[in-house]
Structure 1
Amino acid sequence: MKARMIGWAGAFLAALALAAPAWAADAPILQGLSGAERERVAKLIEGARKEGALDYMSHFVQVGTARLMEAEFKRLYGLPGHKFNFADRTTSIILRRVEEEIRANKVTADVLLVSAVSWLHSLKRRGELTKYVSPEDKHYAAAEKAKMNGDGHWVADAQLNTISVNQSVLPGVAINSWYDLLNPKWKGKILVGDASRTETYTLVYMGWRQVLPKEFFQKLAAQKTGLILRGPEQRRAVMSGEFAIGTTIMARHNMVAQKEGVKMVPFYPKEGVTALPMMSAILAKAPHPNTARLFIDFYRGVPGKYIQMSREPGNMGRPELPPHPDPKVQAQLKKAYEIAPPIEKLNVIPIDWENVKPADVKKWQAEFVSIFGKGTK
């Protein structure tokens, strides 16, 4: 009897082993793949089934968008039972948690979706990131040209904080050059992101200074510019007409305003724009490495970008996506490209991000404060 039970158990385990590839074959993503790539993805799916989960963190992906991506990922890769733990946190909280976990050798996060470029370069130098070249990475040539990618450890889309005009208040006004802002009629109407309290706007200012002299900003400050720190507050100030022109407005804020009936229109000045890398990377000690690789493929690829661009338009490091089969979604994408063109269509200011040091941030922040002062909001 005992021998029979052992034999039955062995047969059952063997059947499971034979059935595993069939489970992976059920994944819709495999229908369009062949050869070595199909084999690679099928193997990752099998590993992901055993892991059963993914832990990822971001400060720019909204919760609603994350939930849609998770649902589509599970459908596409045949992982209906997968559990996702998404941490929507500020950059400083993400940095602190990950560094604490690394020091304790108890890493729980798999994937980082962040724009903290100096920190990711630090993680890369310390060997704390996985080098993973996704098949999607070949589409990010524009980001590579702009020095936004991380040598196989990440590729990047762009956070562009650029000029936005409330054309409901200023009908037909276009700002095609930074120098247009010095027109006396805009005095008291211009808003600037407060770099005195954040590295993000300091890096934006640092980029501007590569193509614009200090004297330009002194003249801009003489226009009685306002200073506000957080993006949503900047959007509301421009929407309300308190300020009619913002200089550090993210693309998605224009879409939010337009949905609420305010014609906020972005402009990308001819002298150039600062493109902060928005990176996707896998931690070296990720507890779910197979799922992490699949998720990176998805996030950087067409299925993930369809969701991101239709909900939260940003300036992609890859070209425009193939037409979506749903005309309604394609119409949303068309609108998104008008608000946030891929960076290959923009004059991106080249910055050697790998060599931007904390001392550089302090230097440019001090100069910004000497010109604009410190905001109160």
Structure 2
Amino acid sequence: MLPLGARVLSAAPAAEPVTPALIDAANKEGKVTYYTAMDLSVAEPMARAFEAKYAGIKVTVERTGSERLFNRIAQEQSSRLFRVDVVNSADAAHFQPWKREGWLAPFVAEAVARDVPAEMVDADGMFCNQRTHLSTIAYNSKLIAPEDGPKGFQDLLDPKYVGKLVKGHPGYSGTIMTATQQIARELGWPYLEKLSKQKVLQVQSATEPPKKIEAGERAIAVDGSDYLFWMAKERGSPIEVVHAVEGTPLITNPMGIFRSAPNPNAARLLVSWIMSPEGQQFIVSLSGQYPANRQIKPKPGRPLLSDIKTFREDPRAVEREAESIKTQYARYFKV
């Protein structure tokens, strides 16, 4: 089989292996800044694992919601305050304007060319999917008996769940922005209007609903990053994950290097490691997110992504509709 770069990425640069010269150049820079929407419980250990392998390089993790991250980068670029080296967003739509503006640097790691499916890689090599997760419903089984638990989105409209729900906000979270676009497309805005009348606790990040139901502050999460629900369940918390009968929003998480990166060699080394079998296995083993690298199998005990009914992700539609989604959503849900 020909390398992926030869088959599909005709406009992309040649795949780059990790060489002693790259490691030496990265060590001379000595640091790399990683902007991400991934929860710190995963992002920080991942950074420390990279530092353990490449002891001369310090990783600074800057974690915030994807929509905040998007605005922050725009401000930094306009002010020419170049801080970000590598960016990873839970809103795949962000990479469309970043690419158009010429802010991304083309780079195809050897592992990406060899082991990542073509549909997860930008044709010009500007970004690739780092990992995939879902925005699922979940509930605390100490507060909601399994026989009374929701099976899907329509069930959340049941009066018995009034005052028991928590959900993230698309104005802050890329996961929730992407999920909201899919839900509005599949179920319609009237569904979300009805949901808003359930006295929903509105939070910001997709990382918050898992924490709220684990703490017992609410019984049911309407949405949230599924890997955090699973991690809580593995800790022994009474969390049940629900793949909605209607379908579950699917969230890819692209990653790219900025052309203005202060530490371009360390950035290429970090991306190469994250996308390698070692880096992908670390993410899967720790959090159970679905790997982009096909050499790595999903975490044991998690359902296969292919066995889950998911909604279709459409980053271009999210980009077109983002402002109208925020406006429409704000009519119904108040922070």
TM tier, shorter chain?
0.7 to 0.9
Closer, same or farther in 2 for the Cα pair 1:292/1:231, shift >3 Å? closer
Please give the residue correspondences for 1:299-310 in structure 2 after superposition, counting only pairs within 5 Å.
299-310=274-285
* Cα deviation code 1:293-331 (max 9, x no counterpart): 2211211222112322333333444558259xxxxxxxx
Q: Does 1:351 align with 2:322?
A: no
Pick from 316, 319, 334 the counterpart of residue 300 of structure 2.
334
Quote the residue 2:152 is aligned against. Answer: 177
| AA matched with 1:58 | T
Larger-gyration structure (1/2): 1
What is the distance in 2 between the residues matched to 1:199 and 1:65? 17
**Equivalent position of 2:266 in the other structure:** 291
**Matched residue of 2:209: which SS?**
helix
2: CA distance, partners of 1:96 / 1:182: 33
CA distance in 2, matches of 1:197, 1:49: 35
Q: Cα deviations across residues 275-297 of structure 1 (Å, max 9, x unaligned)?
A: 33322111113233333222112
Is the aligned partner of 1:153 residue 2:129? no
From 72, 81, 100, the equivalent of 1:125 is 100
Q: Is the 8 A contact 2:167 2:223 kept in 1?
A: yes
Higher helix share: 1
TM-score by length of 1: 0.69
Residue in 1 aligned with 2:167? 192
- 1:373 paired residue number: 333
What letter is aligned with 1:313? G
CA contact (8 A) 2:32 2:60 kept: yes
Report the Cα distance in structure 2 between the residues aligned to 1:69 and 1:239, rounded to whole angstroms: 23
- Answer yes or no: is the 8 Å Cα contact 2:16–2:110 preserved in 1: no
| Residue identity opposite 1:47 in structure 2 | A
> Quick one: distance in 2 between partners of 1:98 and 1:216?
33
Deviation at 1:154, TM superposition (A): 1.5
Aligned to 1:249, the other structure's residue is in SS state coil
Structure 1 unaligned regions, length at least 5: 1-35, 324-332
| SS, match of residue 248 in structure 1 | coil
- 3-state secondary structure, aligned to 2:309: coil
- Once the two structures are overlaid, the 10-residue window that deviates more, 126-135 or 93-102, is 93-102
Whether the aligned pair in 1 keeps the contact of 2:106 and 2:126 (CA below 8 Å) is yes
Instruction: Report the CA distance shift for 1:290/1:169 in structure 2 as closer, same or farther (over 3 A).
Output: same
2-side partners of 1:250 and 1:80: how far apart?
Answer: 31
Q: Which amino acid aligns with 1:82?
A: I
Relative distance call for 1:181 and 1:316 in structure 2 (3 A) is farther
Deviates more, 1:117-126 or 1:36-45: 36-45
Instruction: Write the letter of the residue equivalent to 1:117.
Output: A
Structure 2 counterpart of 1:321, one-letter code? I
In 2: Cα distance, 1:240 partner to 1:68 partner: 23
Q: How far off is 1:122 after superposition?
A: 1.3
Cα 1:349–1:104 shift into 2, 3 Å: same
- The answer to whether 1:217 aligns with 2:196 is no
Q: Distance in 2 between matches of 1:229 and 1:250?
A: 12
Structure 1 residues 301 and 267, CA gap change in structure 2 (3 angstroms): farther
**1:106-159 superposed Cα distances (whole Å, 9 cap, x missing partner):** 634321122243433211111110122223335443x92xxx653322122234
Work out the CA distance in 2 between the residues paired with 1:114 and 1:222: 31
Q: Percent identity?
A: 21
Aligned residues: 318
Cα distance in 1 between the residues matched to 2:171 and 2:57? 42
CA drift of 1:74 comes to: 4.8
- Which ranges of 4 or more aligned residues in structure 1 deviate by more than 6 Å? 36-39
1: CA distance between counterparts of 2:39 and 2:212? Answer: 23
Which of 251, 261, 271 is the aligned partner of 1:276? 251
> 1:73 and 2:50 equivalent?
yes
TM-score, structure 2 normalization = 0.77
